[in-house]
Chain A
Amino acid sequence: MTNLTTHRLNLNARFLRAWFFVSFRMSAFFWIISLLMVVLIGVSGLRAAEPTPKKQQKQSSKLVEYEVFNLIQSKSIQKSLTGKAGNPKRGEALIIDREKGNCLQCHVIDKFHELAKKNPDTYGDMGEIGPTLDGVATRYKDGQLRLILVNAKLVFPETIMPAYYRIDGFTRVADEYVDQPIMSAQDIEDILSFLKTLK
């Protein structure tokens, strides 16, 4: 390029040129700003989308469960509490019963999803606080499952899961429940015999 045009630039052109420069810089500045804002908005959009209540997970991670598993291997109740085998049919009813096991308050059993379509009052409304009970019989031996039912806190110290066969170590138990376990020994064995079918 030549300097041919240079001498023809008058004041006005100089002014325009200067302004062009400034506005170009300005626009670059605003590009950066708007890019930043796009990022910001993206992030805020993500943040708005992310914490839906279903996704609010604060449960123990795999690590905790692993430790816990090691613990269980050494802890179990080998002998039946009643000396007899349990009744799985009765056990299934107790798991559903809201006053007794109420295990469905926190656990899902997969096959109940299907049954709930016909009979939602009995099988429906399963909770999602604990892990699914499907396959517990392959994850645990009988004696370990028995201990989890009797007092889950001996296996998972911080757990929300109640101790079903225990009467001491509680605080301010309501009068009508004082000195009673949530379930009887027979109930525990019946539930256990049902859990054993969940392979």
Chain B
Amino acid sequence: MIFSFYHNQAQLFKEHLIVSLLFVFVYAVAVLFIFETAFAGNGRDKSIVPAVKGHPLSNLWSGYYYSKKDIQALQDNLGENPGLKYVSEGAVLWRQKPNKTSKSCSKCHGNSSISMSEVGVRYPQYYAPLKRLINLEQRINICRKSYQKVQPFEYESKELLSLTSFVRAQAKGRPVRVKVDGFAKPFYEKGKAFYFKRRGQLDMSCAHCHENNYGKQLRSTLLSQGQSNGFPAYRVAWQKVGSLHRRFRSCNKLVRAKTYAFGADAYVNLELYLNWRGNGLEVETPAVRD
């Protein structure tokens, strides 16, 4: 008999109690672990995301991660983030009628936190009426021209930067998710070719710095993966908010290459490819960078 070693009920009860307590303890530990991992998962740096299969990078790291502590603090502090000025100016423009006869953005689009919640994660996007890829800036200008019947904003103007920051900030915290199949495919391919093309007198491609050498010191700068999830972003070196295309121009100049114009097709294609490389990273607009 298996239980023959129990002399009496009392002993059985005692043993049972011990094992039960053990069981309760282990159960408690297990539950604690579950909570802890869940908590650690949330608390861990949200700017790191494992990449999907077939991605050139194994993990995606937001530029936030490579910034100095004081720059990170500036981004996180809602009172001090200088990019938020642009967002609030964008909010004003969103509600404002550009002139007596035309409608405001909010008149047509309603509550921005609902209507624009997904826009920031999926642009650039194929735009059928024009049969081309457009980014957020261009989308906003299309509304200005065709729906508000006023002059489009100039690229990199304070107004366009503000509205773009405002619209993209509605998607803050959501993972970037651009589509690169279907109509977008050829544009994606062009952007990819751009990314890997050596250019300039220094003859480097984006990949030389941001794919092969991220995490390493390039003289005084720590190289990041060159992700786009924080744009439009406030750059200390610019002392203002700038578009992603401005950053492209800076990086082109770094290798002594001819730049393209703001909003050039080549840059919009590159923007799509770059956003795809960051698919999964949270939108940080307005980010703060050195």
Residues of A within 8 A of B (CB): 1-6, 8-9, 12-13, 16-17, 19-20, 23-24, 26-27, 30-31, 33-34, 37-38, 40-41, 44, 48, 51-59, 98, 102, 104-106, 124-129, 153, 160, 162-163, 170-175, 177, 180, 182
Contacts and interface: CB of A to CB of B under 8 A. Distances in A.
Contact of A44 (B7, B37, B222): B37
Contacts of B258: 172-175
A109 B7 CA distance: 80
Interface of B: 1, 3-9, 12-13, 15-16, 19-20, 22-23, 26-27, 29-30, 33-34, 36-37, 40, 44, 48, 59, 61, 65-66, 197-204, 208-209, 211-220, 222, 253, 256-259
Contact of B13 (A8, A16, A105): A16
Contacts of B27: 30
21 contacts: A1-B5, A5-B4, A19-B16, A20-B15, A30-B26, A31-B26, A34-B26, A34-B29, A56-B215, A105-B219, A125-B217, A127-B216, A129-B213, A162-B202, A162-B204, A163-B203, A170-B203, A172-B200, A174-B253, A174-B256, A177-B200
B8 A8 contact: yes
Given A56-B215, A173-B256, A174-B253, A6 B19 contact: no
A6 B1 contact: yes
A129 B37 contact: no
B256 to A, nearest CB: 5
Given A23-B20, A127-B217, A171-B197, A33 B30 contact: yes
Considering residues A27, A124, A125, which has the most beta carbons from chain B within 10 angstroms of its beta carbon? A27
A152 to B, nearest CB: 10
A173 to B, nearest CB: 5
Contact of B215 (A34, A41, A53): A53
A160 B16 contact: no
Contact of A125 (B29, B66, B219): B219
B219 A160 contact: no
B200 A129 contact: no
Nearest to B36: A41
Of residues B23, B36, B200, B257, which shows the largest number of chain A Cβ atoms within 10 Å of its Cβ?
A: B23
B23 A30 contact: yes
B12 A20 contact: yes
A53 B214 contact: yes
A8 B204 CA distance: 88
B23 A104 contact: no
